[in-house]
A and B are shown apart, each in its own frame.
Chain A
Amino acid sequence: MLFNSIEFFVFLPLVFVLYWMLQKQKLAWQNGLLLVASYYFYACWDWRFLFLLMFSTGLDYFAGLMMQKAKNEANRRFWFWLTISINIGFLGVFKYYNFFVDSFADLINNFGFQVHYYTLNIILPVGISFYTFHGLSYVIDIYKRRIEPERNFVEYALFVSYFPLLVAGPIERATHLLPQIKKKRSFDYSKSIQGVKQIIWGLFKKVVIADNCAFFVNQIFDNSANYSAPELWFGSILFAFQIYGDFSGYSDIALGTSKLFGIDLLRNFNFPYFSKDIADFWRRWHISLSTWFRDYLYIPLGGSRGSNWQSVRNTFIIFLVSGFWHGANWTFIIWGFIHALLFLPLLLSNSNRSSLSNSNYSLKDFPKILITFAFVCLAWVFFRADNLTESWNYISGMTNFNDLSFQFFYKNSKYSLISLICLLSIIWMIITEWRNVKRNNYEIQLSKCNLFILLLMIFFMGSFKNQMSFIYFQF
């Protein structure tokens, strides 16, 4: 059930009405309904993986309780490592098994040996990276004695499986979401209105920007050798907007949907293409993942404390792991590596936090924004390409200025029209976001007029015929 499908727009109002009808009942009824709805939502993808989700939920819940009950440190450690190993094990089997087998075989082959190996035809359970990380943060927080284990199974299960965030985040923390689940919720008019606005804004970014950009991006990336340097550059720029529209659009719909149930989710994006440097970009892009890695990997490794060498090592680890989290492909690892390289000068010059002290924008910030965006676009090439060879071919094509044609984008009336739609919608988004950035708005603010224009654009410029699945579902 996609967020931009008819089924979801039947499912959501139904759950919404039932949920608030239970407002006067005990909290358990509301939570129970949300849990059933969440499991139904997940089963619509593939009911078989519902058992995996339930097992993972049950394991973390039980391990949390056992860690608290443990009579000695060894016992605690046992339960901690058991649940960590099983969670990572599931992720490893479903997401990374074939990658490791293939990479190992390639390595052996390079030394002149022939190995016979088996890869499995594994379907990646949707959302596994997200709900595994929910569970991991919960278990780690209990182990580190930051939180007490949750005793109510329904409330814990809802924390892991809450449908707005189940398949593509944001990656929640027990410290943020569980207290909201445990608290009696009453209907909040302004929160619900803001939720609807956010859903419309998210739909616009997904259906109008991302899916229309995908029309060009897929053709260019599938056959990059046939395109000129300017076309390849525009291909990567359009992919930057496609992935932003797709993922931040999803997050907006998730956050907006959750607001309708009176629950605030963690913010995942903060207008990232207005970043002044790469460090700033990572404070604004997929915030729930980058803060997760910061809190559960970077800081335990020592963070930026210690020697320069240790800081550099930790930076590379966090970026490489972050890249690898996205998928079992060397392209994601190189993508993370490029970001680490771009981050390095800021780290060594101790200016990686300079944009924090100055959140206002002046004219001299625009070159910085453009340069940061250009680097980000370049790195996206690796993220989008199917393999490293294609990435290199794409990058080398971008630097081959013998052919400066740009005809692809207007080769017939259909292409010209979709180019125009992409251009108009991206400009509209930039202007709207810029207004919000200037006002330091935490959330996108939209007037009634803006909302109506958005609806017009969704219905008359949205790509419904060539509807694409959300990119982050594959992670």
Chain B
Amino acid sequence: MNKFLKKIVIYGLASFIVLNLIAFLSLYFLGKSSFYKQQFVKNGVKETTFDYIVLGSSTGLTTLDTKLIDSLTHRSGLNISIDDSGLSSHYLMLQHFYLSGKSTKKLILAVMPDDLENEKPKLNGNDYRFLPHNNEDEVQTFFNEIEGDNKIIYQTSKYVPLIGVSYFNTELFFPGILSIFQPTKRNLFDQNGNYSYPTINSSKKLEKTSNKIKKLEYKNPYLTKIIDFCRLNKVKLIIYQSPIYKTEVIFPDELNCVNQCSLFNVSEFFYDEIHVNSKGRRICSEDFSKNSFFLN
């Protein structure tokens, strides 16, 4: 019995150490790459000051083309949006952006109505992408304070990297391996951080959509944190709403807001109900470039 327990403990411990070392290295190499937006902001962007940044979820990522806006307005911008995320992740991303030694004059915060009204935000689907940076206090504080399924995985990964890396192995371990050989590879975004949905025939997908009007209230506590962060760092905050098919959104007056929600209602410009395609993106970006909130 003692021999068995001894052997199990020795081999178990040795395996645990080696597996954790592998997990740590995969996070390390991923952290040094440009694979996800979090790493791109830290390692793949040379400039340190920007006139504006676009921060949001998939709508922010795919609606405002910073390359086009820059060429039209002679400003320098960067899109640091992350798909499948929410205001809580945006707040963390903003902190991470500053901790990476970057700064901006304006923040274009691309929001979604449901997220703005969410009083109890939880962990978002792509928050694991912050795990390579969990040595940053802000990242660890975020994982400690926010609620969500499998919160413990995020909290403990700083000390036992195997937990997070094995749980998100296809998302962290394999990109980590890839990063050893291709550290500059980016995951579905260009050198300005933008991505565009293809132009497909989406009329069938959208035909059942009916007209909606939404009157919003700002309830998400992370919006307050973002406002405070901007005030502290002298960043001008502009709330941005991208087009939603057959939907009108009315925002409260208290914040500067560029509302393109009903800029167009033609299915030709949509990829699905809440995302525009490359044609729609062009129209939105051109229209945004003319907006006084943005230009002043």
Stretch at the interface among A94-102, A216-224, A452-460: A452-460
How far, in whole Å, are A193 and B168 apart by their CA atoms in the complex? Answer: 30
Tell yes or no: A473 within 8 A of B by CB: no
Do residues B19 and A459 form an inter-chain contact, with CB atoms below 8 A? yes
B169 engages A459 (CB within 8 Å): yes
| A198 CB → nearest B CB, Å | 14
In the complex, the answer to whether B166 meets A459 with C-beta atoms within 8 Å is: yes
Q: What residues of B have a CB within 8 angstroms of the CB of A192 in the complex?
A: 4
Say whether A189 contacts B4, CB under 8 Å.
yes
Q: Is B210 an interface residue (CB 8 A)?
A: no
Alpha-carbon distance between A192 and B4 when the two chains are bound, in angstroms? 8
Q: Which residues of B contact A456 (CB under 8 A)?
A: 19, 22
CB of B32, distance to nearest CB on chain A (Å): 19
Residues on the A chain within 8 Å of B169, using CB? 459-462, 464
Q: Which single residue of chain B is at the shortest CB-CB distance from A6?
A: B152
Over the window 174-195 of chain A, the binary record of Cβ atoms lying under 8 Å from chain B Cβ atoms (1 yes, 0 no) is 0000000000000101001100
Assess the B165–A460 pair: CB atoms within 8 A. Answer: yes
Selected contact of B15 from candidates A23, A455, A462, A465, CB within 8 Å:
A455
What's the Cα separation between A464 and B165 when bound, in Å?
Answer: 11
Asked if B15 contacts A464 (CB within 8 A), the reply is no
Interface residues on A, range: 20 to 34
CA A456 – CA B15 in complex, angstroms?
9
* Cross-interface CB contact of A187 among B4, B18, B162, B174, cutoff 8 Å: B4
In chain B, positions 1-17 with a C-beta closer than 8 Å to chain A are 1, 3-4, 7-8, 15
- Alpha-carbon separation in the docked complex, A456 to B177 (Å): 14
What separation, in Å, do the CA atoms of A196 and B15 have in the docked complex?
14
Q: How far is the CB of A280 from chain B (nearest CB, A)?
A: 37
Interface of A is mostly: helix
Query: A421 contacts which chain B residues (CB < 8 A)?
Result: 170
Which of A193, A413, A459 contacts B4, CB < 8 Å?
A193
Contact with B along A446-475 (1 / 0, CB 8 A): 000000100110011110110000000000
Query: Taking CB as reference atom, which chain B residue is nearest A192?
Result: B4
The answer to the question of A431 belonging to the interface, with a C-beta cut-off of 8 Å to chain B, is no
Contacts of A455 in B (CB 8 A): 15, 19
A465 touches B4 (CB 8 A): no
A465 touches B168 (CB 8 A): yes
**B170 near A417 (CB under 8 angstroms)?**
yes
Residues of B within 8 A of A460 (CB): 22, 165-166, 169, 173
A418 touches B (CB below 8 Å): yes
> Which chain A residue shows the least CB distance to B162?
A459
Residues of A within 8 Å of B8, CB to CB, are 196
Closest to A260 in B: B4
Q: Which of A387-435 contact B (CB under 8 A)?
A: 413-414, 417-418, 421
Please tell me if the beta carbons of B170 and A187 are within 8 angstroms of each other in the complex: no
- Give the Cβ gap from A436 to chain B, nearest Cβ, in Å: 22
Question: Which chain A residues lie closer than 8 Å to B4 at the CB level?
Answer: 187, 189, 192-193
Q: Which residues of chain B are near A414, meaning CB under 8 Å?
A: 170
CA distance A23 to B1 in the complex (A): 11
Q: Is the CB of A193 within 8 A of B170?
A: no
Question: Which chain A residue lies CB-closest to B14?
Answer: A452
A462 vs B3: C-alpha distance when bound (angstroms) = 30
Contact A20 B1, CB 8 Å, known A193-B7, A456-B19: yes
Q: Check: B167 CB closer than 8 A to any chain A CB.
A: yes
Selected contact of A462 from candidates B1, B166, B187, CB within 8 Å: B166
Most buried by A among B3, B4, B19, B167: B4
Counting chain B CB atoms within 10 Å of each CB, the highest count among A196, A455, A459, A461 belongs to A459
Given contacts A193-B4, A460-B165, whether A418 and B19 have CB atoms under 8 Å apart is: no
The interface bits of chain B over 128-169 (1 if a CB of A lies within 8 angstroms of the residue's CB, else 0) are 000000000000000000000000000000000010011111
B23 contacts which chain A residues (CB < 8 A)? 459
Query: Residue of A at shortest CB range from B187?
Result: A413
Smallest CB–CB gap between B22 and chain A, Å? 7
State in angstroms the CA–CA spacing of A417 and B173 once bound together: 11
Q: In A1-46, which residues have CB < 8 Å from any B CB? A: 20, 23
- In the complex, which residues of chain B have a beta carbon less than 8 angstroms from the beta carbon of A462? 166, 169
Q: Residue among A417, A460, A464 with the most chain B CB within 10 A? A: A460
- B215 nearest CB across to chain A (Å): 37
Q: Which of B95-115 contact A (CB under 8 A)?
A: none
> What are 23 sample pairs from A and B whose C-beta atoms fall under 8 A apart?
A23-B1, A189-B3, A189-B4, A192-B4, A193-B4, A193-B7, A413-B187, A417-B170, A452-B15, A452-B18, A455-B15, A455-B19, A456-B22, A459-B19, A459-B166, A460-B165, A460-B166, A460-B169, A461-B169, A462-B169, A464-B166, A464-B167, A464-B169
Pick the 6 closest A-B CB pairs, nearest first: A459-B166, A187-B1, A460-B173, A464-B167, A460-B169, A192-B4
